[in-house]
Structure 1
C-alpha cells in the first residue's frame, strides 16, 4: 500500500487540488436538485411526479450538451500544457459559437418531443403541470450551453475555482427564488412547479452573465482575450470541436437516455412510482456528480500530459483518479445505506413514496463500482481525444443491455420500479469494463523501434 501511495502521491495531490473545486461546484448542482425536489415535493406529490418526468427528459438534453462542450477541454488542456494561450482563447470563441448552434438544434428536438408529450403514456392528471414547466426549461437550454463553454475553458486551463464560485452563487440565487416563487412569498403569487422553472431560468441567465463579465474584465484572462478577440475563427478548431464534441455528447446522451427512458417506463407504474423514482434519482446525483467532478480532473490532467506526449503519467493520473473515485464511492454508499429509512421523508410527506424509495437503495449501491469505473475511464479517453469508440460502447451498454434488463425485471418479472432500477448496475458496469479495456489498449507500452 505504501509503495502504491508513493507511486501515485503527486497525482493524488494534483487531482484533489483540481477536482475538489469541481466537486464543490457539482455539489452545488446537487443542492439545486435537492432544493427543487424538497420544495416541490412538499408543495404537492403531483408536482413532484411532473418534475420527475420533465427533469429526466431534460437531463438527456443537458448531458448531451455538457458532453458536446467537453470537446473543448482536451483542446484547451493541450494548448495550456504547451503554453499556447492565445490559441486557447481562440478555441473558446469557436466553442461558444458551436455550443450556441447545438443549443438551437436541441431546442428543435425537445420542441418536437413537447408536441408529442401526450403519447408518452404519462398520468393524465400530470399533463397540465408538465407542459408549462417543460416550456420554460426549453428556453433555458441556450444559457446552459454557453455557460458550459466558459466552464470547460476555465477547467482546461486548470482554473477550476472560478466555475465553482459562480455555481455556488447561482445556487444561492436559485434556492432563494425557489422559496419565494413556489410558495408565494414577499408579495409574489404562489406558482408551485412553474415557479421552480422560472427560478431555474433566472439563475442560469445570471451565472452566464457573471462568467462573461469575468472573462471580459479580469486580468487573469487577459492573455486569452488576445486570441478570443483578435485571432478570428479557426476551421481546424471547429473541426476538432465537432470531432470530439459529437461522440462525447452522444455517449453521454445515450447514458442519460437509459435513465430518461427508464423514467418513461416508471411513469407507466403511476404517480407514486414516478415520485419515488425522482427522489432516488436526486439521491443518486450525490455520487454521480462527485464522481464526475473527480473524473473531470482526470480529463484535465490527462490532456495536459497528452499534450506533452507523457504516456506514463497519462496512465498514472488515470489510475490515481480511479482510486480516489472508489474511496468516494465507499464513503457515500455507507452514508446512503445508513440513511435509507429516512430518505423518502426528507422529500415528501407521502408514506407510500417513502416505503418505495427504501426498496431502490440496493440497486443504487450495487451500481456504484460500475458508475465510478465508467466515469473515470470515459474521462481519461476524452483527455487523450479517443472518443469515437465510446459511442459504440455506450450503445451496447445502455440500449442493448440496460434498457432490456430494466423492462424484463420491471414488467416481465413484475418487480415494479425496483426492477426497472436493476437495469443500471448491468449497463454502467458493462460500460466501465469496456472503457477500461479501451484505455489499456490505447495507452499500452509501444515496442521500441530505432
Structure 2
C-alpha cells in the first residue's frame, strides 16, 4: 500500500532540494547574524530579534507576492513563448521593485512604534539603527525574488541557490570584520551585522542577473527590457495571483512576529530565548517550504493533464514524506533542546552568566514545544503548496487567517501574559494555530480532490 506513495519520494526530493538549499540560505544569514551578535550579549541578540521582527513581516509579503511569477513563466515556457516569459519577468520585476520600496517606506514610518511596545529600553536603542539598514535591504531582496521565481518557472532552481550561497559568504565575512572590528575594520556591533546583510543582498541580486545574462538560454529574457511599455492587464494578473499568496505568508509570519513582541513584554532574556527557538525552527521550516514548491509544481502538472487520481496520490506522497522528515526534526529538537541554545551564547562570559543561563533554560522549554509543531508547520505549508497547484488561493487565505489570528494568537496572548506559562504559553498558542491550519487545509484539499475525481 505504501509503495504507491514511497516510489514518488526520490523525484519529490530531487525537485525540492535546490529550493530547500536556497531557502536555507536566507535563513542562514539570520543564523550567522544571531550567533555572532549573541557573543556581544543578550540585549544585542534581543535587539536583532526586535529589528528583524518588522523586516520579516515585510519580507513575507515580498516573497509571497513574488511567487505569482513562477506559474506565468512556466506556462509560457511550456508553450515555447519566450516573449510571454520575458513579459512576465519584466512586469514582475517592476511590481517587486515598487513593493520593495513601499515596504522600506512603511517600516520607516512604523519605527516610532518601537517606543510604544513595552520593549526593554536598551533593546529599542540598539534596534533602531539596525532596523534602518536591514529595512533598506528589502529592496534588493524582493528584486532578487523576482529573478528567483522566474528561474524556478523555467525549472532552473540551481542559479538562485548559487547566488544565495555567495550572499552567505559575503554576509558572514562582513559580519566578522564589522561586528568585532577584525583586521583593523571599525567595531560597529549590530550595525556591522546590518551592513553585512545589506551588502550581501545587493551582491545577490547583481550576481543572479549577471549569471542569467551569461547563459545563452536566459540572455533573451533578462536583457533589453522596455520599461516604457507596461500593460495594465499583465499587472492585474500578477497582482491577482500574488496578493492572496502574500497574505497567506503574512498571516503566518505575523503571528511569529507577535510572539517576538509578546516575549519582549516578558523581558530581554525571554526575547533572546524566543529568538533562538524561532531561528532553529525557521531552518527546519525551509524543508517544508521546499517540499511545498514540489507539491505546487507536481499538482499543477497533473491538473493540466486532468489526471485527478494521480494528482491526489502524488500530493499525498509529498504529505507522507513531509510527515516522516518532520518526525526526524522533532526528535532532534527533543534530544538537543538543552545544547542548541548554547551555540548562540558565550557560555564562558562570567559577567553575563546569569542572563545566559536563564536564556538557555527558557529556550530549552520553547524547543520542547517546537519539537511538536515541526509536524504541524511542515504539513500545513505543504498542503498549502498543493492547493496553490490547484489554483485555490482565496479559501486557504481565509483558513490561515482563522487558524493563526482567531485560534493561535488569543491562546498565545492569554497564556503568555496572564498565566505562569510565560514564554512557553506563547509557543503553545503557536502550536495550536499551526495544528488548526494543517487540519483545515487538509480538509479543504480532501474536499476539492474528491470532487474533481467524482466529476
Please give the TM-score of this superposition, normalised by the length of structure 1: 0.94
Range that drifts further, 217-226 or 293-302: 217-226
CA deviations on 1:200-245 (whole Å, 9 max, x unpaired) are 0000000000111122231131464589669954433322211111
Decide whether the 8 Å contact of 2:101 with 2:139 is kept in 1: yes
Matches of 1:193 and 1:370, distance apart in 2? 34
Match of 1:360, SS state, is helix
SS of the residue 1:186 aligns to = helix
Q: How far apart, in 1, do the equivalents of 2:121 and 2:310 lie?
A: 55
Matches within 5 A, 1:12-411: 12-222=9-219, 224-225=221-222, 233-348=230-345, 349=347, 350-411=356-417
Whole-Å separation in 2 of the counterparts to 1:82 and 1:17: 24
* Residue 426 of structure 2, aligned match among 420, 428, 440: 420
Return the match for 1:442 from 425, 433, 448: 448
* Root mean square deviation, CA, Å: 2.1
Given that 1:74 and 1:299 are in contact with CA atoms closer than 8 Å, whether structure 2 keeps it comes out as no
Contact conserved, 2:4 with 2:313, CA < 8 A, in 1?
no
Residue 303 of structure 1 and its aligned partner are, at CA, apart by 2.8
Partners in 1 of 2:224 and 2:397 — Cα distance? 32
Q: Give yes or no for contact 1:74–1:385 (8 Å, CA) kept in 2.
A: no
- How many pairs does the alignment contain? 446
For 1:381 and 1:356, the matched residues in 2 are separated by 37
Residues 1:447 and 1:195: Cα distance change in structure 2 (over 3 Å): closer
Residues 228 and 385 (structure 1), Cα distance of their counterparts in 2 relative to 1, 3 Å cut: farther
Shift of 1:330: 1.5
Mapped contact 1:136–1:198 kept (Cα < 8 A): yes
* 8 Å contact kept, 1:156–1:300: no
The unaligned stretches of length 5 or more in structure 2 are 348-355
Q: Gaps spanning 5+ residues in structure 1: where?
A: none
Per-residue deviation, residues 144-173 of structure 1 (Å, max 9, x unmatched): 110011111111221111111111111111
Deviation (angstroms), 1:445: 4.3
1:432 to 426, 438, 447: 438
Q: Distance in 2 between matches of 1:279 and 1:211?
A: 31
Q: Distance in 1 between matches of 2:86 and 2:389?
A: 19
Alpha carbons 2:33, 2:193 under 8 Å: kept: yes
CA deviation map 1:287-339 (0-9, x unaligned): 11111111122222233333444434432332222122112211212222221
- Separation of aligned partners in 1, 2:300 and 2:392: 11
Q: Which moved more, 1:282-291 or 1:69-78?
A: 69-78
- 1:399, distance to aligned residue in structure 2 (A): 0.9
Of structures 1 and 2, the one scoring higher in RCO (CA 8 A, sep 6+) is 1
> Shift of the alpha carbon at 1:13?
2.7
Aligned-partner Cα distance in 1 for 2:47–2:313 = 45
Secondary structure of the residue aligned to 1:385 is coil
SS of structure 2 residue aligned to 1:162: helix
Q: Is the 8 A contact 2:213 2:223 kept in 1?
A: no
In the superposition, relative to structure 1, how do residues 144 and 268 fare at CA in structure 2: closer, same or farther (>3 Å)?
A: same
| CA distances 1:126-157 after superposition (whole Å, capped 9, x unpaired) | 12211100100111111111001111111122
